[in-house]
Structure 1
């Protein structure tokens, strides 16, 4: 049976371990705060093939309103040699730029001083897909954030009213292959037929026909959707003419780990040690 002295000694050791762990955690948090904030407001981004996309990266000092004069910005892509883009001493440093991004990547130079390190990537290609990392080094701010870029192809359909009263829709650019549905003005699923035609690059042209006869002054919805993009197109028939409008919704899993989740994980590990 342990003596009172042994119990007290063991309790003191236990308390020292717990307090030391808490001090280390507090210092780690304080150190990270002292480095300011580097983050992306869009850690998962969808790019449309052959169009431009912006990979968001922002940095902020503790004061929150500082103008930055000496900033180093490096964009890299995982599993790819060289840099995507590098900015130092108020100028682009592209000696080690990967050839994949030559004349296609740039920063918003006029906005760097206010904490905008976002990357503009022109003419997006399928091989551009991947995880990009934005690293910032500036006065009172340093850190890295990541952006997961997914590349797809999507376009809005054009509508034509055919002589037999059916409604015809054609979208020239989709990848991967989507599903197509038609809905009535009340949201009812309608009869339709759809064809997919691949070009030499594997991009898909979507041709779909609403087989049910349409009514004047009614609005019909054509939904074209794959795993990442949904095109919601509304076609209104008026006096044998069709007017259409389309808006897009995007779905991409975030790769960013919330700081609160990370803190809770650390606390759980410390409690497990106890």
Structure 2
């Protein structure tokens, strides 16, 4: 029995050592990955082809000293944008971003290092990293930029019982769904949708539904991975009533890796919380 007790004791000691090593590794990865304590928060973004987009990045500011900012993109050589020692430094900027990037320099003192990209192109899509260095430390975080096309929807009637929803610019190619909002029936199979090639890779969407009845509300939904446009329509005694909306699908905010690891450490130390 004494021998079994010693084996159990040694197993428990081994488990404790493994747990301590795992915690030390987590802390070490946090320090190596962020080099310090400056927590950087980024937010994923959706860019419109030929438009402007802002890649969000905030950090702990140093009101006494200028912060250095470095924006990079995975798979791309050189920097996307660099600000160091109180001035813009674009000597190693990748040629694809020349003349199209800028910071809100007056907001750096408030902890805002968000990057504006103008004339957005499909090739701008990808993973970006924002790195901040100041007296608070050095921190970095990543975000994803998705790029495509989406536009508001228009709902009209081509006959007293035919509804048409149209929208001029979509990419990737969207899906179109028709619904009877009153009965909740899916009417897509009773509609005719045309995708007309437009500028660059974009599509114009034209979709018709015949058989609309008075006082029933109908909805047309155009959707891809980036956005959703919806148009609602109803025939009344005074004519066609419509309302429309366009919603961009966003992936939200990404917290800094150090914050994530601290949360994970807290869970490991307090398993009862699970």
Instruction: State TM-score, norm by structure 2.
Output: 0.78
Pick closer, same or farther for the CA change 1:80–1:25 going to 2, 3 Å: closer
1:118 alignment counterpart: 114
What 5-or-longer segments of structure 1 have no aligned partner? 269-274
User: Quick check: 1:21 aligned with 2:21?
Assistant: yes
2:167–2:205: 8 Å Cα contact kept in structure 1? Answer: yes
2:39 alignment counterpart: 37
User: Quick check: 1:70 aligned with 2:70?
Assistant: no
2:49–2:120: 8 Å Cα contact kept in structure 1? Answer: yes
Distance in 2 of aligned mates of 1:207 and 1:248:
19
Distance in 2 of aligned mates of 1:240 and 1:87:
58
1:60–1:141: 8 Å Cα contact kept in structure 2? Answer: no
Deviations 1:48-78 (A, max 9, x none): 21221111111126xxxx6363200000111
Deviations 1:85-140 (A, max 9, x none): 11112221111111211221111112111111111111211000111110110111
Pick closer, same or farther for the CA change 1:222–1:30 going to 2, 3 Å: closer
Distance in 1 of aligned mates of 2:19 and 2:198:
65
Pick closer, same or farther for the CA change 1:260–1:231 going to 2, 3 Å: farther
Distance in 1 of aligned mates of 2:103 and 2:229:
30
What 5-or-longer segments of structure 2 have no aligned partner? 270-274
How far is 1:172 from its partner?
Answer: 0.8
Give the counterpart of 1:146 among 142, 145, 148: 142
Pick closer, same or farther for the CA change 1:149–1:3 going to 2, 3 Å: same
Please, which moves more after superposition, 116-125 or 179-188? Answer: 179-188
1:228 alignment counterpart: 226
How far is 1:243 from its partner?
Answer: 3.6
- Residues 1-274 of structure 1: matches in 2 within 5 Å? 14=14, 17=17, 21=21, 24=24, 28=28, 35-40=37-42, 42=43, 44-60=44-60, 67=63, 69-186=65-182, 187-190=184-187, 191-199=190-198, 201-215=200-214, 219-237=217-235, 239-250=238-249, 252=251, 259=260, 263=264
2:272 alignment counterpart: none
- Root-mean-square deviation over aligned CA pairs: 3.8
Pick closer, same or farther for the CA change 1:87–1:115 going to 2, 3 Å: same
- Other structure's SS at 1:244 match: strand
2:165–2:231: 8 Å Cα contact kept in structure 1? Answer: no
2:51–2:119: 8 Å Cα contact kept in structure 1? Answer: yes
